[in-house]
Structure 1
Amino acid sequence: MVRSSDDNEKKSLVKKLKDVEISVPIVYGNVAFWLGKKASEYQSHKWTVYVRGATNEDLSVVVKRVVFQLHSSFNNPIRAVESPPFELSESGWGEFEIAITLHFHTDVSDKPLHLYHHLKLYPEDDSGSLSVKKPVVVESYDEVVFAEPSEGLFARVQNHPAVIVPRLPAGFSLPPVPAEDADKRKRVDPKDNPLTQWFTNFSEADELLKLAAARQQVTMNLCIFI
């Protein structure tokens, strides 16, 4: 039986890269603004919960959609965001836990990743005063690890700023990236997000030292979900 070139190309796209891992640093959290004189008993803050790249890169290269599950007191408490930025804005007065579910593209993973974030509206320090100009920002950093990616996936993400990929052996050739996937990288500029000025800089040396010590355990835990 003779295989066509199309069959061979499709086979190469799904072929797994053994002993290879790619990782995607992510940050999830919330920014909350006090409404000041406009605040009422049930509307004291305007807030945004989100999932973003560690330095605000576009995560849509691996993430298909993000589902946020709010408190049951909200209308339509389960909200799906189908395109970046993966964020949701609301207003209210109370703090509660938000379930965040990341759904990936089919060539990335068929298993969703479940995260949990406690919405914060007030400063951690009781003596901290509320300000309409400076929001409360609470964020967590993690790395999602995908083991044995397909050659097609590796080729698609190898030059994307949101994804950390290892260097392959010299002479190893990957399948070409479809034109439509290359075009998608240019559609979203994460720097256009007005919340960027409030995001935590997780590239600072002290943060990296803390994360490096915990990374091995975090990777083991996340691999359970992927």
Structure 2
Amino acid sequence: MAAGASLKRIKNIAISRPILYGNTATPLTEEEKANPDVSPDHTHSWTIFVRSPVLDMKSDAASISRVKNKLAVATNKKEASPAPENNHELGFIKKVVFKLHDTYANSTRTIEEPPFEVTETGWGEFEISIRIFFPTEMGEKNILLYHHLKLHPYKKDNIPAQIGAPGGAPSGEEEENANVPQPVDSYVYDELVFNEPSEQMFELLTSRPGALLPAKSDPNDPSKSYSLQTEAEELDRLTAGLETVYQQVQKTKEYILQLEKEKEALSQ
């Protein structure tokens, strides 16, 4: 910013931009484990990222390629793919700093151009801090996020059984599928909200339209991996979960009342 220039903020204006942050993880194949550059105790390849929920099919070709090829091992990537020029909706981000577990060499990774991601191999889950920086001349403070690296999918047997219900042992098919290592997608949809942004930031954010989520998801189209359908399905899952909790609470109350009646009968 030129000397003497002031940061004038636009009052009563708030602009939001959507992001996805989280990780993907894939079990290493026997061939990948045999790579001398991979530690013998490592079990998964994982990628921690900050990206737009909508991929630009033209400018994000490299990112799409990475989404399709999750099996690539970090140490096997001899040449980095060229970064997309505009990275769709993340042009307002200057850099992203990922703080990995201290056991990793150079545990603080600074990514100054898209794609904002780090790929590694490992065996354990841990918390990763993600700090997002904006151009200094925009006058916006950096944002700190946290993500717990997830390598293993949730299992049904981790869900407690209902009170008074038979012990929900998994079927043979479910148990067999649970023992097969599965890829994991663990991410959060969030929106960065800029309240009363500076004029420079306002101009940068409005220089192109915001990301519009597609109506439906398409597993064969990485640009539609997150959609309005995804949001609706998540709301349905939350609603179903709340209903399940309510039903369990009611059953627990009935069970307690039954025990109290039995106790009363025994004391007489």
Aligned length: 168
**Could you say if the C-alpha distance between residues 124 and 208 of structure 1 is closer, same or farther in structure 2, counting changes exceeding 3 Å?**
closer
What SS does the corresponding residue of 2:45 show, helix, strand or coil?
Answer: strand
The alignment's TM-score, normalised by the length of structure 1, stands at 0.64
Question: In structure 2, which of residues 88, 96, 103 is the aligned counterpart of residue 66 of structure 1?
Answer: 96
AA aligned opposite 1:87: E
CA–CA distance in 2 between the matches of 1:34 and 1:199?
24
1:206 alignment counterpart: 232
1:174 alignment counterpart: none
Q: Residue 64 of structure 1: CA displacement?
A: 0.6
Q: Is contact 1:139–1:200 with CA below 8 Å preserved after alignment?
A: no
Q: Residue 16 of structure 1: CA displacement?
A: 2.0
What SS does the corresponding residue of 2:94 show, helix, strand or coil?
Answer: strand
Are 1:121 and 2:151 matched, yes or no? yes
AA aligned opposite 2:103: S
CA–CA distance in 2 between the matches of 1:207 and 1:159?
32
2:105 alignment counterpart: 75
- Structure 1 stretches lacking a partner, 5+ long: 1-5, 165-195, 211-226
Q: Residue 208 of structure 1: CA displacement?
A: 8.3
2:266 alignment counterpart: none
AA aligned opposite 2:189: Y
| Greater strand proportion | 1
CA–CA distance in 2 between the matches of 1:156 and 1:117?
28
AA aligned opposite 1:154: F
1:197 alignment counterpart: 222
2:28 alignment counterpart: 35
Q: C-alpha root-mean-square deviation of aligned residues, in Å?
A: 3.0
* 1:1-226 to 2 correspondences below 5 Å: 14-38=7-31, 39=33, 41-56=40-55, 58=87, 59-125=89-155, 127=175, 128-131=178-181, 135-162=183-210, 197=222, 200-204=225-229, 205-206=231-232
Q: Residue 200 of structure 1: CA displacement?
A: 4.2
Q: Residue 154 of structure 1: CA displacement?
A: 1.9
AA aligned opposite 1:81: I
CA–CA distance in 1 between the matches of 2:136 and 2:130?
19
The alignment's TM-score, normalised by the length of structure 2, stands at 0.55
| Greater helix proportion | 2
AA aligned opposite 2:226: N
What SS does the corresponding residue of 1:63 show, helix, strand or coil?
Answer: coil
AA aligned opposite 1:55: V
CA–CA distance in 2 between the matches of 1:107 and 1:154?
12
**Could you say if the C-alpha distance between residues 148 and 91 of structure 1 is closer, same or farther in structure 2, counting changes exceeding 3 Å?**
same
Higher mean displacement: 95-104 or 41-50: 41-50
Q: Residue 162 of structure 1: CA displacement?
A: 4.5
Q: Is contact 1:202–1:208 with CA below 8 Å preserved after alignment?
A: no
What SS does the corresponding residue of 1:138 show, helix, strand or coil?
Answer: strand
Q: Is contact 1:62–1:108 with CA below 8 Å preserved after alignment?
A: no
AA aligned opposite 1:25: P
CA–CA distance in 2 between the matches of 1:198 and 1:53?
10
Q: Is contact 2:92–2:204 with CA below 8 Å preserved after alignment?
A: no
CA–CA distance in 2 between the matches of 1:25 and 1:60?
9
- Structure 2 stretches lacking a partner, 5+ long: 35-39, 57-86, 157-174, 213-220, 237-268
**Could you say if the C-alpha distance between residues 162 and 63 of structure 1 is closer, same or farther in structure 2, counting changes exceeding 3 Å?**
farther
1:169 alignment counterpart: none
2:63 alignment counterpart: none
Q: Deviations over 1:187-225 (max 9, x none)?
A: xxxxxxxxx839841432516868xxxxxxxxxxxxxxx
1:220 alignment counterpart: none
